[in-house]
Every structure is written in structure tokens, then in C-alpha cells.
A and B are shown apart, each in its own frame.
Chain A
Amino acid sequence: MNPKTWRLPSDPKWWQAKILSVAILVALLGGWQYATSRAAFDPTGMNEEELMLLEFNGDIVLNDAGEYVYNEEKTSGVPGPLLVGKKIVEELSNPFHKNGTNDHGIAHLIFYTVTRFSIGFVLASIVAILVGVVVGLNPVIFNAVNPFLQVLKPISPLAWMPLLLYTVQKPTLTAILVVFMASLWPTIANTAFGLASIDKDYLRVSRMLEFGWFRRLFTVILPAAAPAIVAGLRISFGSALVAVVPAEMLLGELGVGYLTWIEWNNLDIAGVLFAILVVGFVGFLMDALFSKLSKAASYAT
């Protein structure tokens, strides 16, 4: 086939993609609703006792008209989009409530997760950049440390969890440290690599200009390595975002991961879907925010 006959429209209108997005969404939701809808309850052929048993077990309820219908609260299998929508409205309409120790509104849960994540990520980034600079500036240290980095980097951050829990003992702190572990290695490795591969001419020039060590670090070395560092931070960010949700599930720490888990414990699949959407949405927002920041950082170079 001639590749020239198969290419993007040369001048797409802005609304074309948008309409297509909406159409995909509608098709998905429609298909989902169709796949999960079931026929109305049909009581013919059932005696009084069977109906009573179904009602007792919560399968059916009497509606206002005095007829038996399926209990909407109880779904078998995956709930439809209408039910999930109802759940979303219900959760979002009261986002700031606090009913005791274990039931906090969605806004609080998001706040806990974002806080936990930010503390772990910022701490790890500071440590990782410092370590990365030291390792990256000295070829001997770089070669000595590199094998360790290569082994430590692929370890799943959650694998550290039992050890962390055993040593620090506090689940709250452990969750932060899991995020810390998740965001440490990619930044260290990238920073070290970025520094090690700076154009040697930059360094020669700065030496010729007789810059002090600090001045050389902040005006030449770090800006030159900035793209690599930012790339490292991006990888760290993604892996930390992946780690924070299961850490909350496993540690029972309030947050969006915890929400997913308690909805699952309740076998409330609509709730699980809502929680998944929240996780996705929070991740998307944070990622967008981070992109803005990293763009600003790389622009400065």
C-alpha cells in the first residue's frame, strides 16, 4: 500500500476531535448500560413463599405501586453507568463530611493522598538530586555506585513496605516512605547520568572563567543537566503515583487507595468504580500540574 494515501487530514478543525471524543464516550456508556441492564422482575409462576424469601434476602423490594421490582441497591455483576452516576453524585454532594475515624468525605481523602504523596515525593527529590549530583560529578563514585543503583532501581516500592513497617512501625510514616522509595531511584540515576554526560566544554569554560564550585554548580552544571533531572523526576512522579494507592490499601491509611479498598470490602462495585475514577482524576490533575512545573523548569535552561 502506498503510504502517501494514508495520512492525517491536513487541516483538522478543532471541533472534529472533540465531537469524536464525545461520540466515543456516548458509545461506551450506551454499550455499558445495555450490557448491564436486565429485564424487569417477573413474578409469574412464583408462589407467596418464594416471593417472601426473595424479599427477605433483599433481592426484590416493593415499589410505590405495590409491585415487586429488583432491589436497585443490590446488583449482581458490574453495575451500569446510571448506578455509578448515582454513586458519584451521592459522594460528591457531601465531600467534606467526617463521620468518625473511618468515614471521611472524598475531599478529605484526596487531600490525605495528595499530602502523603507530596511529602514523600519532595523529600525523595531533594535527596535524589543531592545524591545524584555527588555521584554524577565524580566518575570514580559513579562507577562504584552504579551497580547498586541498577539493582535497587527495579525493586517495586511496595516490596519495601514490610521492612519499612517493621523498622519505623508507624503506618502513616510508612506510606510516606513507600512514596519516597518509589521516587528515589529514577531521579538519582537520571541526575547522575545527566551530570556525567554534560558537554565537557561547558566545564572547561567555567574553569577558565575561574568560577567558584558553587557558582559552577548552579550556573553551569545544574542547568546543563536540568533536562535529564526533569526527565528523572517525571519517571519518579509516575512510579510514586502508582505506589501511593496500593500503599494506602495495604496500610489502611485514609486516602483514595483506602476508598477503593473499603468499597471492595463492602463488595460495592459502583463504589469501587467511583474510587477508580477518583484515582484517575487525581493522577491526571497532578500530572498536569507537574507538567506545568517541569516546563517552567526546562524553559529556564
Chain B
Amino acid sequence: MSVFRRDPFDPDQSLEHQHHAGCMHGASPVDGADGSQGETPQCSSTSCHGEHEKAISTEDAISHAVETAVVKAIFGQSDLSRRKVLAAAGAGVVAEIVRGMFPLDTAKAMAMEVGKIEKPDLSIGFIPITCATPIIMAEPMGFYEKHGLNAKVRRASGWAMVRDWAITKEVDAAHMLSPMPLSITLGAGSPKVPFYMPAVENINGQAITLANKHKGVKTAKDMKGFRFCVPFEYSMHNYLLRYYLAEGGLHPDKDVQIRVVPPPEMVANLKAGNVDGYLAPDPFNQRAVYENAGFIFKLSKEIWEGHPCCAFAISQEFAKTYPNTFLALFRSIVDATAYASDKSNRKEIAKAIAPRNYLNQPVTVLEQVLTGRYATGMGGIGNVPDRIDFDPMPWHSMAIWILTQMKRWKHVDTDFDYKTVAEEVYLATKCNTLASEMGYEDRTETYAKHVIMGKEFDPAKPDEYLASFPINNL
């Protein structure tokens, strides 16, 4: 998350460099969107994240955003003329003039004013995995409080439980897997309830873990006959594992077994030799290494760099009944996600979410996951800083990709229009507006071309994409 905090009155700073989506998003979606090929990430993680300054308060962020908007309005979109004028007249003088001309303080107050929160006491369901980091850490680190909410997180022990809690209003909002709001809205595998997915919780953050006895495995072909686990039917875990196997020439329903198992049981099963491997959320990949039960075969980011993983979900009914509460909650999540994306905060976050009330895991395991410096289980130490990363943007194109895979494996049998469903559920535009209002990265597009295992996915042509797979259940 490139956090935007530049002084608009400083002639030495450019206001233009706020659109660097490629940084956060490995697959450089902006490049893809404007026609050029999104190949490798544009900036290396160090140059990108080196720009991050210490977190500042939302008030400051809003104040900056308002000043910038005013300065931009005065000088037009030409950044060059602004810098010339400022350099010639002196930043202080111009700032005085602008502040005299325009009631900046009033504008800031207006921007900051939040409507009355209808329901400050909230309960948010989560599954104890590192993907839930922004939702969880927002409680101990006070992000909900900052936005006027008294939100408590409530731990569920499985995805079906969190889904049922969300549907029956036992919780007001929930941590879900990014395909779940889509499947619930379509009524696939559950009652049909319209949901919103305002934000993605994390990107990357999963891995294929294999039992120690399979250290010789090199490719998907070597996994024929394996017994795998995934945490939920409608999950990125399931779709990425299926994709990986199918690209390697194995049919996920015929050549291997894939069963749904809660993550903690996966580690125990791996230890007992009941399963050969799994594609699971962390910390259970790292936990398998910690337990000396398995090794990390492939990080999910090696399958799809920057893929969405978990999500923040809320029923459309709640969002419409309590719009201000929803907005405040949305803001807290975007804020917390931005904080989590800053790698210098990761150690502190690992400590905050380790206690029993949240993840109930050894700090060292969480630290290895979040910092990306980890024991691989194969006798080495891996160093992948964006092993898990955080970016709230729920790209519409991601939703379409998930929908194509749901169709591919016959997880939905109803007919639907990709674009309509994606835009109804994934609130990309709203997330983007909110993030830029709060001074975070501004994006203009909500569709991007993604590259998954070297194969390009064009969201404009889902049916052609679907038809291009030799292995499917269609």
C-alpha cells in the first residue's frame, strides 16, 4: 500500500507518483489494464516499501488529501506548473494565499465528518489464521476504536461456521475466503443471501505443504494418487490447488483426492501420515515445518503472484441498514490493511495476534510467516518478504477469475453474468474511493489482466478463458 502523504506545497515533491499500483500488486495490474503486458513487478519490494514512512493518523491523512485536492484544483492536473509556481514564489507564500482563498479547515472538517454511527457495538467473526491479520489486529491495536466502533472479534472454528454466523446475523461482519461472498450470493452450497465483499484481507499467504516423505516430489505429475486437504470447498486454496494440478496434467477429481479438512487437523493428519499434503492458509504451513511434519513445497504466490486470499465480508442488508457503521468498519479495515502491509510493522503484529484470544499460536511461527524469513522444512531458510501481503483492493477481475473456476469444476450450476455478479459483490470502486479519500493509493481501474502460472487471464473474455483448459468438469 503506497501510503500517500506528500506535502502539496513542497515544490520538490511530485504529486503524480501516487498511482503506482504495480508495486503492491505483483502482477502489475495497472500495466495490464492499459494494454501493455504485466510481466514482473515494476518495483522491487525494497524500493517500493522503502518509501513508507511511519504510520500517521487518519486525520493527518485526510488533511493532506484535502490540501492536495485543493492545490490540484488550483493548478490543474499539470504538476509541472505547480512546482514551477511554488519554486518561484516560495511554498510558504503560496500556502498562505491558498489558505486565505479557500476555507481549507472547513473542507477538512467536512471531509472528516463521519455520519452518526448507528450500531457501534459490533461482533466480527474470524478464523484463526494469519490471513485474518487486519481484522484481528484492528482490535488489539485500536483501529476499530479509532473509527468510533466498539468491535469485538469472535473466533469460529471452521468456514462453514463463519458462513452460518454471517447468514444468521450471529456476527455483523465476517472474515471469509474471497470466493465465499460470491458463492453465498449465488446460493451455491448455502442459502442464497446477497453479500458484499468490500475488501480483500490479504494477498498471497498460502502454500502447498507436503509430508516429509515426499521430499523428492518435483512437479505436479509426481503427485498422482496423493491425498490432499483444502480448508473449504469455495476457497482460493481449492481453486489454486486444482489449477496447479491441472496445469501439471492431473485431473484434481480423478487423479488425486481432495478433501475438506479444518487446517489444524491437516497438520495432525500430515504428522500421522494420513494425508500427503495440503494447500492451506498460514500459519499451518509453517506450523507443519515447526512440528517437523512436512516441508513447504510451493508458496501460492508462485502460482499466482498477488492472488486474493481471504476477504472481509458483510451482508448487503447490514450495509444498507447501517450505512455509516458500515463505512466506519470499512475504513477501519482499509486502515488496518495498510498498516499490515508495511513490513516494518510485521513483527509487532505477530506479537499482537499470537495470544489465545486471537490466533493462539507460537509467536515464532507467526513471525516467520509475516516477515517472510522462514524455515522451509528442507534444511534451509527462505526469504520471501511478500510471502503474505496485504492489499484491500477487491479487483472485479479477481471475482471473474474465481467465477470461471467455479464453473470449471462445477461448483455452481446456475447461469449468471460474470460482470454483473462481480460488480454486485466485490466493491472495488467503493474500496478504491475510500482508500484514496483516506490518503492511500488511488487506482482508476477495477479490472486487470492477471497472469497465473504464465497464462494470461483477460477478464473481458471469461468464456474463452474457460474453454482454453484441457482439464475441466464442464
Q: Give A contacts to B, CB under 8 Å.
A: 53, 56-59, 73-74, 76, 99-103, 165, 169-171, 249-252, 261-262, 264-268
> Which residue of A53, A74, A99, A261 contacts B381 across the interface (Cβ within 8 Å)?
A53
Beta-carbon contacts under 8 Å, B413-470 to A: none
Q: How far is the CB of B270 from chain A (nearest CB, A)?
A: 11
B130 vs chain A, min Cβ distance (A): 14
Is the Cβ of B381 less than 8 Å from the Cβ of A265? Answer: no
B168 touches A169 (CB 8 A): yes
Contacts beyond the supplied A57-B292, A101-B155: 18 A-B pairs with Cβ under 8 Å: A53-B379, A53-B381, A74-B290, A99-B357, A101-B357, A102-B357, A102-B358, A103-B356, A169-B169, A171-B165, A171-B170, A252-B161, A262-B157, A265-B262, A266-B356, A267-B268, A267-B287, A267-B291
- Chain A residues whose CB sits within 8 angstroms of the CB of B381 once the complex forms: 53, 56
B152 at the interface (CB under 8 A from A): yes
Interface hit among B69-77, B95-103, B360-368:
B360-368
Q: Nearest chain A CB to B282's CB is how many angstroms away?
A: 14
* Complex CA distance for A135 and B157, rounded to whole angstroms: 42
Cα A249 to Cα B379 with chains together (Å): 37
Whether, in the assembled complex, B94 has its beta carbon less than 8 Å from a beta carbon of chain A, the answer is no
Q: List 9 A-B contacts (CB under 8 A).
A: A102-B358, A165-B164, A252-B161, A262-B155, A262-B360, A266-B360, A267-B264, A267-B268, A268-B360
Given A101-B153, A265-B128, A267-B267, check contact A53 B357 (CB 8 Å).
no
Give CA–CA (A56, B380) in the complex, Å: 10
Instruction: Give residues 364-389 of B contacting A (CB, 8 Å).
Output: 364-365, 375, 379-381
Whole-angstrom CA separation of A75 from B131 in the bound complex? 26
CB distance from B266 to the nearest CB of A (A): 11
Cα–Cα distance between A250 and B165 once the two chains are bound (Å) = 13
B154 contacts chain A at the CB level, 8 A cutoff: yes
Task: List B contacts of A74 (CB < 8 A).
Answer: 290, 362
Instruction: Kindly state whether residue B135 has any CB partner on chain A within 8 Å.
Output: no
In the assembled complex, B412 has its CB within 8 A of some CB on chain A: no
Report yes or no: B357 in contact with A265, Cβ–Cβ below 8 A.
no
Q: Which of A101, A262, A268 has the most CB of B within 10 A?
A: A101
How many residues of chain B have a CB within 8 Å of chain A? 37
Of A58, A74, A262, most B-chain CB atoms within 10 Å: A58
Does B327 make an interface contact (CB < 8 A)? no
B-chain residues with CB within 8 Å of residue A170 when the two chains form the complex: 168, 170
In the bound assembly, the distance between CA atoms of A294 and B381 in angstroms comes to 64
Q: Is the CB of A262 within 8 A of B356?
A: yes
CB distance from A109 to the nearest CB of B (A): 12
Query: Do B170 and A169 have beta carbons less than 8 Å apart?
Result: yes
5 smallest CB-CB distances across A and B, nearest first, come from A103-B357, A100-B357, A169-B168, A265-B264, A57-B375
Q: Which B residues touch A53, using CB under 8 A? A: 375, 379-381
User: Taking CB as reference atom, which chain A residue is nearest B377?
Assistant: A57
- In residues 284-307 of chain B, which contact A (Cβ within 8 Å)? 287, 289-292
A102 with B364: in contact, given A57-B375, A169-B170, A170-B168 (CB under 8 Å)? no
| Dominant secondary structure at the A interface | loop
Judge if B139 is at the interface, Cβ distance under 8 Å: yes
Closest Cβ neighbor of A261 among chain B residues: B157
Q: A252 and B153 in contact (CB under 8 A), knowing A170-B170, A264-B264?
A: no
A56 — nearest CB in chain B belongs to which residue?
B375
Closest-CB distance, A117 to chain B (whole angstroms): 20
**Residue of B with least CB distance to A262:** B360
**B188 interface residue per 8 A CB criterion:** no
Q: Which residues of B contact A251 (CB under 8 A)?
A: 161
Chain B residues near A171 (CB, 8 Å)? 165, 170
Interface residue? B48 (CB, 8 A)? no
- Bound-state CA distance A56–B382 (Å) is 12
Q: How far is the CA of A296 from the CA of B161 in the complex (A)?
A: 43
Q: Which residues of A contact B356 (CB under 8 A)?
A: 99, 102-103, 262, 266
Q: Which one of A56, A73, A169, A252 contacts B362 once the chains associate, using CB atoms below 8 Å?
A: A73
Specify which of B152, B267, B291, B380 is in contact with A100 (CB 8 Å cutoff).
Answer: B152
Residues of chain A with a CB closer than 8 A to B364's CB: 58
Closest Cβ of chain A to B139, distance in Å, is 7
Q: Which residues of B contact A250 (CB under 8 A)?
A: 157
Give Cα A252–Cα B290 distance, bound, in whole angstroms: 26
The complex places the Cα of A251 from the Cα of B262 at a distance, in Å, of: 14
B156 located at the interface, meaning its Cβ lies under 8 Å from any Cβ of chain A in the complex: yes
A58 adjacent to B362 (CB under 8 Å):
yes
A43 to B78 CA separation, bound complex (whole angstroms): 66
Least CB distance, A62 to chain B, in whole angstroms:
14
Whole-angstrom CA separation of A57 from B368 in the bound complex: 9
A56 neighbours in B (Cβ, 8 Å): 375, 381
The residue of chain A having its C-beta at the shortest distance from the C-beta of B124 within the complex is A101
Of chain B, the residue at the smallest CB distance from A249 is B157
B92 at interface by CB-CB < 8 Å: no
Within 8 A of A (CB), among B240-274: 262, 264, 267-268
Quick check: A102 and B154 within 8 Å, CB to CB? yes
Q: Let me know if B50 is at the binding interface, CB within 8 A.
A: no
Which residues in chain B, 160-188, are within 8 Å of chain A measured between CB atoms? 161, 164-165, 168-170
Bound complex: CA A5 to CA B291 (Å) = 55
Q: Is B189 interfacial (CB-CB < 8 Å)? A: no
Chain B residues, Cβ within 8 Å of A101: 123, 152-155, 357
When C-beta atoms are compared, the residue in chain B nearest to A52 turns out to be: B381
Which B residues lie within 8 Å of A100 (CB)? 139, 152-153, 357-358
Bound complex: CA A251 to CA B154 (Å): 12
What residue of chain A has the Cβ atom nearest to residue B126's Cβ?
A: A102
> What is the minimal beta-carbon distance from A236 to any residue of chain B, in angstroms?
28
B378 to chain A, nearest CB (A): 10
How many angstroms between the C-alpha atoms of A53 and B153 in the bound complex?
35
Q: How far is the CA of A76 from the CA of B262 in the complex (A)?
A: 21
- Chain A residues with CB under 8 Å of B153's CB are 100-102
Determine the residue in chain B with the shortest Cβ distance to A50: B379
Residues of B within 8 A of A165 (CB): 164, 168
Confirm or deny: B355 has a beta carbon within 8 angstroms of a beta carbon on chain A.
yes
**Which of B168, B291, B360 has the most chain A CB within a 10 Å cutoff?**
B360
Report how far A261 CA is from B161 CA in the complex, Å. Answer: 14
Q: How far is the CA of A250 from the CA of B156 in the complex (A)?
A: 9
| Residue of A76, A250, A266 ringed by the most chain B CB atoms within 10 A | A266
User: Complex: how many Å from CA A115 to CA B405?
Assistant: 47
**Chain B: which residue is nearest A258 at the CB level?**
B157
The complex places the Cα of A35 from the Cα of B267 at a distance, in Å, of 23
Highest count of chain A CB atoms <10 Å: which of B128, B157, B161, B365: B157
Decide: B291 and A76 in contact? CB cutoff 8 A.
Answer: yes
Chain A residues near B267 (CB-CB < 8 A): 267
Question: How far is A261 from B265 in the complex, measured between Cα atoms in Å?
Answer: 11
